[in-house]
Amino acid sequence: MESNVKVQKQEGAKVCLMSPDQLRNKFPWINTEGVALASYGMENEGWFDPWCLLHGLRQKLTSMGVFFCQGEVTRFVTSSQRMMTTDDEMVTLKSIHEVHVKMDHSLEYQPVECAIVINAAGAWSAQIAALAGIGKGPPGTLQGTKLPVEPRKRYVYVWHCPQGPGLETPLVADTSGAYFRREGLGSNYLGGRSPAEEEEPDPANLEVDHDFFQEKVWPHLALRVPAFETLKVQTAWAGYYDYNTFDQNGVVGPHPLVVNMYFATGFSGHGLQQAPGVGRAVAEMILKGSFQTIDLSPFLFNRFYLGEKTQENNIM
């Protein structure tokens, strides 16, 4: 935690570390049992409505002439050439020339000629990559390296608790992985917890498991905030993470062999927070041939083949 805060301060974030006593004095409703240290953001902290942000971005893009078309990619038409690497390995370079898209409410597909394909298909981006032949080569080779992104189902719960923390409540992430924040002004709270690897729910549907809240979320909430003993769940929903099973971090930039496919995927729950920066980085890579504003080379596809993980400590 000290290392993370040091990095945040170097980047200009107004954060501080608090002892259990300091934490208890500032937020008397917190039970500090088991807490050695807390990190607290003092300025420019908050949250936003993701759907409103996406809607706003989409409206702006439409006003600038971007055309949105909804459909399912079913096939890529590619050309290829063989070349020798510096390691005397023969590889095949591919370039995508045409994308076949099955339109909604239609039995026909629409061929779309293209110079560049950006794979930002979220939880389904590995399927799109496979259509381009990514991961189809011999195991242990770059050609045989798959995009390690898969859908993971996550639950979000909203509960009511009149005796709960007041309006000064920040977003709280507990040592157990449980998190919550206030939702509006009416003593409602929003939160949840990511399941352990052995608890992963079936991603085949978006049904909510209410027992998961009762057994895996609520006990941690009630321990950290005793007032939550009396909470009542009001509503809940489920959604998908584009979960990177390799190191839980994003994949940004071009594929080394499918030379005109660029990735912006695998963010494992951080996607919308990082989206503006990632969008800029991918645009720079396409237009300039390299990252300009921020060097995102640790997030290139090559790391899966090289076995070089880019991991972050204390993520939720």
| Contact by Cβ (8 Å): 165, 182 | yes
Separation between Cα atoms, residue 33 and residue 55, nearest integer Å: 42
The SS3 call for residue 118 is: strand
Question: pTM for the full model?
Answer: 0.90
Edge-to-edge strand list for the sheet holding 90-103: 71-84, 90-103, 109-113
Q: What is the pLDDT of residues 42-52, one digit of tens each?
A: 998 888 888 89
102 closest CA partner among 128, 73, 132: 73
- Residue-wise pLDDT for 190-233, tens only, equals 999 999 999 999 999 999 999 999 999 999 999 999 999 999 99
What pLDDT is stored for residue 86 in this prediction? 66
Give 3-state DSSP helix, strand, coil % of the chain, rounded to 5.
30, 30, 45
- 132-166 residue pLDDT tens: 999 999 998 999 999 999 999 999 999 999 999 99
pLDDT in tens, 230-254: 999 999 999 999 999 999 999 999 9
